[in-house]
Amino acid sequence: MKVFDTSCALCYTKHVKTISLTESAYQRLLSWKTGGTFSEVVERMVPCKGTLGAAVEAAQTLPALSDADFEDLERMVHSTRHRLSTTWS
């Protein structure tokens, strides 16, 4: 971050990147935005690549699942485990 002293005010600059999103990706990202910035949404919702701890930490910030959604998630995990165990053995 660079800081410039301009007479009676301090000006801060941050590095900014422009990204392109499809409309559906933008709407999905927007649905997670509860005030703040899109950068804050990404930092809150996307774990650091390759770290299980970061993935678990990110999962803990998600809203609670309904019983039906939890059962669906359990079925999907079980199905994925079964497929992986047969393809990796």
User: Rounded to an integer, what distance in angstroms lies between the CA atom of residue 12 and that of residue 39?
Assistant: 17
At 43 the pLDDT is 86
Element at 23 (helix H, strand E) = helix 23-31
At 11 the pLDDT is 57
- Closest-CA residue to 32 (of 21, 45, 20, 48): 45
Asked if the model's pLDDT at residue 80 lies above 90, the reply is no
Is 46:58 a contact under the CB 8 Å cutoff?
A: yes
In this structure, of 19-28, 36-45, 49-58, 70-79, the range with the lowest mean pLDDT score is 49-58
pTM assigned to the model: 0.44
Q: What's the distance, Cα to Cα, between the start and end of the chain in Å? A: 49
Asked if the model's pLDDT at residue 83 lies above 70, the reply is yes
